[in-house]
Structure 1
Amino acid sequence: METLQKCIIDIKQILLEARQKAYQATAFAMIEGFWLIGERIVKEEQQGNVRANYGEQIIAQLSKELGKGFSERTLRDYRKFYLLFPEQKDLAHTCAKLSWSHIRLIMRVENTQARNYYLQETAEQHWSVRTLERNINTLYYQRLLASQRKDIVVEEMQQKTAEFQQDPYEFIKNPTVLEFLNIPTHYAYNENDLEKNLINNLQQFLLELGKGFAFVARQKHIRTETQDFFIDLFLPPNICHICPQRKSSLKK
C-alpha cells in the first residue's frame, strides 16, 4: 500500500513538472515572438523616418491585418518591449522566466533601476503577476531602499502576497495565452446559451410561486395558416389577471 501511494505521489510530481515545462516553453515563445514583432516594427519605422506619422500608420495597418488580439495598443507594447530590452541576451536570460503579463507590468515602471529590480526579483523569486502588481503599486522597491530594516519590509510583503502565490495555473488561465495559441476564448454566452439560461431562471421562478401561477411549456409550437412559431415560454392567458398592476406593464 505504501508503495502504491509513493507511486501516485511520484506521478503527480512528474505531471506538475511536465506542465511547468510546457508553461515555460509557451511563455518564452510568446515573449520571444512579441519581442521580434517589436523589433520588426521599430526597424520599419526607422526606414520611413522622413514621415513623422509613419510609425502610427504601420501599427494601424498591422492591427487591421492581424485581427483579434492585436490591437494598436498591444502592438505599441511590443514596440516598447523591444526598445526597453533591445539586447537579445536580456530576453533569453531574464524575460524568458516571466510571462507577458509580468513584462507589461514591469514596462510601466519608469525608473530604470526599479524596473531592473522588479525584472530580476520576479524571475528569481517566482513572483506571481498579482504579487508583482502589488509590489509595484505599494512602491516596494523604494521602501526597501529607504528602510534600515529591510528584512521587516520583505517579511511583510511575503505575508501579504502569500495567497497570490498559490495558483500554479495562473499563467495558462490568461486569455492572452489562449489567443496566442489560437485557442477560442469564451467571454460570453452565444444567443442560444443566453436564451436557455434566461428561460431556465424564469421557469424556476414561476414554479416556485405556486398557486395562481402556471408554467405550460417551452418552445411551444403555434401554427398559423402561413407560418409556424415557437413560443419561448408559454403561460396561461389568465396569468395577467392575477396581478392587475403587472397586466399593464406586460401589454407595453
Structure 2
Amino acid sequence: MNIQNIEPKYEILLDTICKTYETGKIKAFNAVNTELVQTYWEIGKYIVEFEQNGAKKAEYGKALLEQLSRDLSIKYGKGFSRSNLFQIRAFYTKFPKIQTVSGKLSWSHIVELIKVSDDTEREFYEKQAVIENWSVRELKRQKDSGLFLRLGVGKDKKEVLTLAKSGQIIDKPKDILKNPYIFEFLKIPEPYHIAETQLESLLCDNLQSFLLELGRGFTFVGRQYKITLNNIHYKVDLVFYHRILRCFVLIDLKINEVRHQDIGQMNMYLGYFANEENIEGDNPPIGIILSKEKDELLVEYATYGMNSQLFVQQYQFYLPNKDELREEIESVLRGDNEIII
C-alpha cells in the first residue's frame, strides 16, 4: 500500500521531517566543531604552560611535540601528528583568549588563520570570514589575493586599524573598491592577449568567483545591458545591484588604458540609470571602469567636477606582490606617512 496515494498531507509530513533532520545535523556539526576548537585551545594552553616551566629552547619544544605525538597517537590514533600539535600550540599563542574566537569558525578556518603572522592582518581575516560566512576555500583565496592589503591601500592609520578590528564596513561607495581587483581565478596565461568581450564572457562564466572578488552585497543583474537615447543604443558591460548600499553598480571593462571618452560615457550611463532605472528607495548609481592600465593624471582631469560616484580602478590577472603592499600598510601603521607640522 502506497500511503502517498491515501494521505494527501504525507508530503508535508515528509518535508517537515527532512527539514528537521537537516537542521539537526547542522546543529550537531556546529556543536561538535565548537567543542573541538575549545578542546584544541585547552590542549595548546597545557603545552605552552608546560614549556614555559621547562627549558626555554627550540630543541626542547621540538622534542616535547615529538614525544606527545608518539604517545597520543598510540592512545588515540589519528589527530595528534607533530604538525597538528604544532598548529594546536600556535592556536593558543595567537588566540590567548578563547572567548574572542567565533563559534562560526571551524578548526580548518583556524588553521588558515594561524598561518597569518601579522596580528592586524589576521584579525581582519577572522572578522571577515565570519561576516561573509566564508568557506575555508574562500578564506584561503582571499588571503592569497591579499584582500586586507588591497583594501588597506590608500587608507590612513585609523582606517586600517578599524578595517582590521571590524572587518570591511560598507556604508559609502568607496567602501566597495579594491586596489587592484584580482582575476587570477580566470587562469589566463601570459602574455594576456584577450579581447574585452572575451574578458566579459570569462567573468560571467566564473560569476561565483567574480562576485567573491567584488565583495559582499553584490547581486548580478545582467551583461550588455542595453540603454537607448535618441534612438541610439548603448550597452553597459556588466550591471549589478548592491543590496547594502541599495544602488545599481555599473561596470565597464577596458583591456588597455582608460581614455577620457570612456569616463564621459560612464558618466552618461550613471545619469541614465539615476533618472530611468532607479525606483523609490534606490540611491544614486555607482560606476566603476575596470582597466588593466590607469593614467592617474588623466583620470584626475577627466573626472574634474564630475560625479563623485564614478571610479577608475585597475585589475590584474595574477596575484599581487603582497610584500610591497604589506610594506605600504606597515608604513601607514608606523606613521611614516604622517605630516609633522
- With structure 1 as the length reference, what TM-score do the two structures score? 0.56
Q: What residue in structure 2 maps to residue 144 of structure 1?
A: 151
More helix by share: 1
> Which whole-Å deviations, capped at 9, do the CAs of 1:204-240 have from their partners, x for residues lacking one?
xxxxxxxxxxxxxxxxxxxxxxxxxxxxxxxxxxxxx
Give the Cα separation in 2 of the matches to 1:77 and 1:26: 19
* CA offsets 1:48-96 (integer angstroms, 9 cap, x no match): 13566322221111011011331212111111100001113223xx1x2
* Aligned-residue offset at 1:115: 0.8
Distance 1:130 1:123 in 2: 14
Query: CA 1:90–1:12 in structure 2 vs 1: closer, same or farther (change >3 Å)?
Result: same
Measured in 2, the distance between the counterparts of 1:132 and 1:52 equals 31
Distance 1:40 1:103 in 2: 18
2:116 is matched with 109
Q: How does 1:216-235 map to 2 (within 5 A)?
A: none
Matched, 1:70 2:119: no
Tell which deviates more after alignment, 119-128 or 45-54: 45-54
Q: Please tell me the residue identity of whatever aligns with 2:141.
A: R
The answer to whether the aligner puts 1:17 opposite 2:27 as a matched pair is: no
Q: Distance in 2 between matches of 1:64 and 1:111?
A: 32
Q: Are 2:145 and 2:182, in contact at CA under 8 Å, matched by a contact in 1?
A: no
State how many pairs are aligned: 159
Give me the CA root mean square deviation: 2.8
Could you say if the C-alpha distance between residues 70 and 161 of structure 1 is closer, same or farther in structure 2, counting changes exceeding 3 Å? Answer: farther
Tell me the distance in 2 between the aligned counterparts of 1:144 and 1:2.
Answer: 55
Partner in structure 1 of residue 62 of structure 2: 56
Matched, 1:81 2:91: yes
The structure with the largest alpha-carbon Rg is 1
On the 8 A contact 1:131/1:161 being kept in 2, the answer is no
Higher relative contact order structure (alpha carbons within 8 Å, sequence separation ≥ 6): 2
**CA–CA distance in structure 2, aligned partners of residues 89 and 49 of structure 1:** 30
Task: Please list the CA deviations of residues 149-187 of structure 1 after superposition, one character each: whole Å capped at 9, or x if unmatched.
Answer: 44355x999831779xxxxxxxxxxxxxxxxxxxxxxxx
Distance 1:10 1:121, change over 3 A: farther
CA, structure 1 residues 117+45, in 2 after alignment: closer, same or farther (shift >3 Å)?
A: same
Higher normalized strand content (fraction of residues): 2
What's the % identity of the aligned pairs?
30
Counterpart of 1:159, as a letter, is Q
Partner of 1:8: 14
Map of 1:202-217 to 2, 5 A cutoff?
A: none
TM-score by length of 2: 0.42
Q: Is the 8 A contact 2:51 2:61 kept in 1?
A: yes
1:2 to partner: Cα distance: 6.8
CA distance in 1 between counterparts of 2:16 and 2:182 reads: 34
Amino acid at match of 2:94: L
1:132–1:52 CA distance, 2 compared to 1 (3 A): closer
Of 32, 49, 56, the residue aligned with 1:26 is: 32
Structure 1: which amino acid aligns with 2:20?
A: I
Q: Does 1:36 align with 2:42?
A: yes
Distance 1:114 1:2 in 2: 56
For 2:100 and 2:124, how far apart are their aligned partners in 1? 13
Q: Paired residue for 1:216?
A: none
User: What is the CA–CA distance in structure 1 between the aligned matches of 2:80 and 2:16, rounded to whole Å?
Assistant: 41
- Does residue 121 (structure 1) correspond to residue 146 (structure 2)? The answer is no
1:159 maps to 2:169? no
Per-residue deviation at 1:110?
A: 1.9
Residues 1:8 and 1:162: Cα distance change in structure 2 (over 3 Å): farther
- Gaps of at least 5 residues in structure 2 are 1-6, 155-172, 184-206, 213-341
In 1, Cα distance between equivalents of 2:10 and 2:211: 33
Match of 2:140 in 1: 133
Q: Is the 8 A contact 1:39 1:82 kept in 2?
A: yes
